Amino acid sequence: MKPKTVRVHDKMQRGYTYDVVALPGRDFAKGFEPELTPAEMLRLGVFGGKYMTDCGREFPKSWFARAKLSAKRRDPSLNFFGVDASQPLSLWRKKGWLHPDDPRGWFQWYCRYYIGRRLPEEDARQIRRWKQIKRHVAQVRRNCEEVNLSCRKRQRQALLHWAYDSRKI
């Protein structure tokens, strides 16, 4: 595959470029098996619909065709579980969870990884973080009847934010 260069111009990044070196949705690192694609996540409703409203040119148009997005401000009612399960970006900055290449956080990293960008060190860090979230799957299983979507809604919504399909737990 011939690498393709993507140029980003949105509210949080101007003039950032990266190369797409893998086929979209393929060649993921061993052990990284997200249950949801970015498009599925956006359709289900994540991050109060505000996360990706200015990134339409960077990612496939199909991702946004049925996405639950909010034009003005975050609206937790757009989330699949109808609850707010997000931490403010300021906390992510304070905790050092953000990488300069992905100032919006994990989901931005995942979207770029999904379309084929590879940053070996950052990929390994984000995949470790993704694996750590799985402990919440065990908590939902331990504390909820199977597929009781009204049980632990915030935790289930947070799992959706990390590409775990908590509708099936």
Per-residue pLDDT reduced to its tens digit, 56-76: 899 999 999 999 999 888 899
What tokens were used for 53? 């409203």
Given a cut of 90, is residue 166 above it in pLDDT?
A: yes
Instruction: Tell me the percentage of the chain whose pLDDT exceeds 70.
Output: 100
24-37 mean pLDDT: 97
What would the DSSP string read from start to end of 41-69?
A: HHHH--GGG-TTTT-TTTS-GGGGTT---
Given a cut of 90, is residue 7 above it in pLDDT?
A: yes
The whole-number pLDDT of residue 138 equals: 95
Q: How confident is the model at residue 127 (pLDDT cuts 50, 70, 90)?
A: very high
C-alpha to C-alpha distance for 119 and 101, rounded to whole angstroms: 10
13-28 mean pLDDT: 96
Q: How confident is the model at residue 19 (pLDDT cuts 50, 70, 90)?
A: very high
Q: How confident is the model at residue 36 (pLDDT cuts 50, 70, 90)?
A: very high
For 91-130, what is the HEC assignment? HHHHHCCCECCECCCHHHHHHHHHHCECCHHHHHHHHHHH
For 131-164, what is the HEC assignment? HHHCHHHHHHHHHCCCCCCCCCHHHHHHHHHCCC
Given a cut of 90, is residue 89 above it in pLDDT?
A: no
Predicted TM-score (pTM) of this structure? 0.95
Contact 114, 126 (CB under 8 A): no
Residue 9's H or E segment, with its range, is strand 4-9
